[in-house]
Amino acid sequence: MLNQAQQAISRLPYQSVEQSEMDALKVTRLAYAYPDCPAVLQGIDLSIATGERVGLIGPNGAGKTTLFLSICGVLAPQSGQVQLFGQPVQPGRFRPEIGLVFQNPSDQLFSLSVEEDVAFGPTNMGFSCEAIEERVCEALQLTGVFDLRHRPPHHLSGGERRMVAIASVLAMRPQLVIYDEPSANLDMRSRRRLIRFLQAASQTILVSSHDLELVLEVCDRVILLDQGRIIADGAASEIMANAPLMEAHGLERPHSLSHRC
């Protein structure tokens, strides 16, 4: 059975667009409210250039996941606009240039084998069997889980499931990949492997995490979000070294920056 998020994504019609040299992502005056939770996002403005690696940090409930779902067109904002590679995102329309890795890999994996899960995206995009096979092999190899391809995803460890979930997104060859809490529930070795993977990734990356050391190792730039507003946007090592700023928004300066004032 597909869960709600999978059903929403699998139903999204395909919307193709030509790539260009412009910003990978441009968000303008974006506002979003849930019916029972008003003003979750309040006038968000941000741009991400192609090739940038950007961390999104903020306390619980700041609106990080809501922002990601709005960027991907899963949620329809009350006002404002999202542009991907110069083209507006239309809520409910699938854009192959962007991939979202969910906070919980189980929300993304639902097939009987790893291979089928990774093939799900390219199959829905209408590729030939050969092209699907090529994309599946490529994604499984990039994420280091090729040997798991015949295993049922629900028999895998948390770390293995995380990398399979990433493979299922990469098989659609997105240019911009959004990672929502990618190191949640990973042990030290799996987390280190994930950090190396993210550092080597060729795509534009937007990653939200409470694992601030991971953000520091992967991202040059950080956006601090609190109560649906952007509080700071700049060099990761400068924003995250600012203890009063971090503490004012429910965060701590990462240990590796504690020598800085």
Ligand X SMILES: Nc1ncnc2c1ncn2[C@@H]1O[C@H](COP(=O)(O)OP(=O)(O)OP(=O)(O)O)[C@@H](O)[C@H]1O
Which residues make up the interface to ligand X (CB under 6 A)? 34, 36-37, 40, 58, 60-66
Residue 143 or residue 208: which is nearer to ligand X going by CB? Answer: 208
Q: How far is the CB of 35 from ligand X (least distance, A)?
A: 7
CB of 174 to ligand X, least distance (A): 20
Query: Do residues 224 and 57 lie in contact, with contact meaning Cβ atoms separated by under 8 Å?
Result: yes
3-class DSSP state of 33: strand
Alpha helices in the chain (DSSP H): 4-11, 64-71, 114-124, 129-142, 158-170, 188-200, 212-218, 236-241, 243-248
Name the minimum Å distance from CB 98 to ligand X.
Answer: 17
Instruction: Pick the closer one to ligand X by CB: 192 or 249.
Output: 249
CB-nearer residue toward ligand X: 87 or 185: 185
Least distance between ligand X and beta carbon 135 (Å): 29
26 or 64: CB nearest ligand X: 64
Q: How far is the CB of 136 from ligand X (least distance, A)?
A: 30
| Contact (Cβ atoms closer than 8 angstroms) between residue 89 and residue 83 | yes
- Indicate the burial class of 230 (C-beta count within 10 angstroms; 0-12, 13-18, 19 or more): buried
**Which C-beta is closer to ligand X: that of 21 or that of 36?**
36
First to last CA, the chain: 52
